[in-house]
Amino acid sequence: MSLHTVITGTGSYLPPKIVTNAAFEQHEFYDPDGTRIDRPAKEIVEKLEAITGIRERRYASPELRSSDIAAIAARQAIEDAGINPEELDQIIVAHNFGDILTGTLQTDILPSVASRVKFSLGIKNVHCIAYDIIFGCPGWIQGLIQADAFFKAGIAQKALVIGTETLSRITDPHDRDAMIFSDGAGASVIEYMHTDGARGILASAAVTHAQEDTYYLYMGPTYKPGVQNQHLYIKMQGRKIYEYALTHVPTAMKECLDKAGVSDIREVKKIFIHQANAKMDEAIIKRLFRLYGLRDYDPEVAPMNIHDFGNSSVATIPTMLDMVRRKQLDDHELHPGDLVLFASVGAGMNINAITYRY
């Protein structure tokens, strides 16, 4: 038997409020230069759906903040793991904007989201260290990587890793990209434990490109001219991100598999990739398989929920993992011994991946 970092419980919160693409058909959309797009909004919406695959998304109700939905997901994960929350050594929360105050666009991260979650869970153990990480959309995976490092250093044995976001509150209604983003939270309990065989995290890889790629995702004012406010919204250079992801993500994924000693991509049973854009994700996975001399792949290897839930940033992978574990996503299932690959790309620009034996 050997020690490995194992996911022992998962939980998620996907808001019940469904916002379909039809909700955007009355919007006025503008280009980054302030020029109104001279096409019917319905046509713009249909084109975005064709590109991203997004049909609808989920928005949190006004009274719920990122820390609130994170705590909901956390309780599920703790119950699923069957642990006493007082045994947790760390609570790591990945996000990008903290608690966004409804109607103000003001972000609130004092105290940290992780501390708020610890408070909500009623954990009194002062040696349970709560902290946030901001690593773009790959934040939840980076939280796992950090916790695994702490485990191996002998500093901790049990951790709660959460990805939570309410992106719907930080989007410009006059920007087409506003249709991409959504809200949600996913949590996982991970433990450093003796296992039969190589169960758990086998390897990880992460890179940051912070030169010409740094500002592909950024904060900026509304695209609509003449609006007198100082609000900043999430903005992105979609084409640049697409090209960046297709160039760098497959190689990072292969690097992670190489570290784990996996030489045949066909050994991987599931690939949980950040739900950023359905076509982009499919293209990334196709390029990964081509690195192994294979021209195509079985779509069943890559679960997707972006069509119905949109892009909730750090929450996409942990919510999707929870759905698969609970058999709530089509016919996707995980079985003991399955080789799994987690991978994400996002602001920074950051990329990371984990090879995991379920």
**Pairing of β 268-273 and β 2-13:** unpaired
Q: What percent of the chain has pLDDT over 70?
A: 100
User: Phi, psi (5° rounding) for residue 110?
Assistant: -130, 105
Residue with tokens 């490092």: 149
Which of 195, 212, 244 finishes a domain?
Answer: 195
Residues 352 and 205 in one domain: yes
Q: Does residue 230 carry a pLDDT above 80?
A: no
Which of 195, 229, 257 finishes a domain?
Answer: 195
CATH for 49:
3.40.47.10
Q: Does residue 21 carry a pLDDT above 80?
A: yes
Q: With the CA atoms of 158, 152, 207 and 171 taken in that order, what torsion angle do they form, in degrees rounded to the nearest 10?
A: 10
Residues 9 and 68 in one domain: yes
Residues 173 and 81 in one domain: yes
User: If residue 245 lies in a helix (H) or strand (E), which one and from where to where?
Assistant: helix 238-259
Q: Does residue 245 carry a pLDDT above 90?
A: yes
Residues 275 and 310 in one domain: yes
Residues 263 and 142 in one domain: no
Residues 117 and 148 in one domain: yes
What confidence tens digit (pLDDT) does each residue in 109-164 have?
Answer: 899 999 999 999 999 999 999 999 999 999 999 999 999 999 999 999 999 999 99
Residues 74 and 150 in one domain: yes
What confidence tens digit (pLDDT) does each residue in 57-81 have?
Answer: 999 999 999 999 999 999 999 999 9
Residues 81 and 207 in one domain: no
Distances in Å between the alpha carbon of 206 and those of 80, 135, 190, 255? 29, 11, 19, 9
Residues 227 and 351 in one domain: yes
Q: How many domains does one find in the chain?
A: 2
Give the whole-angstrom CA distance, residue 77 versus residue 71.
Answer: 10
Which of 195, 213, 231 finishes a domain?
Answer: 195
Confidence of residue 89 (pLDDT cuts 50, 70, 90): very high
In 3-state terms, what secondary structure has residue 299? helix
Which pLDDT does position 286 carry in this prediction?
96
Which pLDDT does position 229 carry in this prediction?
78
Q: Which residues are catalytic?
A: 137, 274, 311
Q: Does residue 296 carry a pLDDT above 90?
A: no
Helices (H) and strands (E) in the chain, counts: 8, 15
Domain residues for 181? 2-195
Residues 214 and 328 in one domain: yes
Which pLDDT does position 197 carry in this prediction?
74
Q: Does residue 1 carry a pLDDT above 80?
A: no
Confidence of residue 280 (pLDDT cuts 50, 70, 90): very high
Residues 190 and 208 in one domain: no
Residues 99 and 140 in one domain: yes
When the pLDDT of each residue in the chain is averaged and rounded to a whole number, the result is 95
What confidence tens digit (pLDDT) does each residue in 171-229 have?
Answer: 999 999 999 999 999 999 999 999 877 899 999 999 999 999 999 999 999 999 888 77
Select from 300, 293, 297 the least CA-distant residue to 284: 297
